[in-house]
């Protein structure tokens, strides 16, 4: 009986959280693609150094890693 209640609760919770996780993955993908295009433009127009591009990439990877840790914690 206890196991079925846990199963039902887990299933309901996952279906409520799943759309938000999908939205975060889509935003992360768009952000990653945007960073590539932005780096090309900023190198040409703004004369940004490679150091600044690496800092932007580090910030992106940090956010993506955080999202992946949250998703990994939600897996059952």
Domain region containing 37: 2-74
Q: Cα separations (Å) of 25 from 18, 21, 45, 51, 59?
A: 11, 6, 30, 27, 16
**pLDDT tens digits, one per residue of 31-54:** 777 777 777 777 777 777 778 778
64 touches 28 (CB < 8 A): yes
Global pTM value? 0.48
User: How many independent structural domains does the chain possess?
Assistant: 1
Average confidence score pLDDT of the chain = 79
């Amino acid at each position: 009986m206890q196991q079925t209640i846990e199963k039902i609760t887990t299933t309901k919770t996952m279906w409520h959280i799943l759309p938000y996780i999908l939205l975060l993955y889509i935003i992360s993908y768009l952000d990653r693609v945007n960073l590539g295009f932005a780096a090309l433009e900023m190198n040409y127009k703004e004369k940004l150094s490679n150091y600044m591009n690496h800092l932007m990439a580090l910030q992106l990877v940090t956010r993506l890693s955080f999202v992946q840790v949250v998703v990994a914690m939600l897996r059952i």
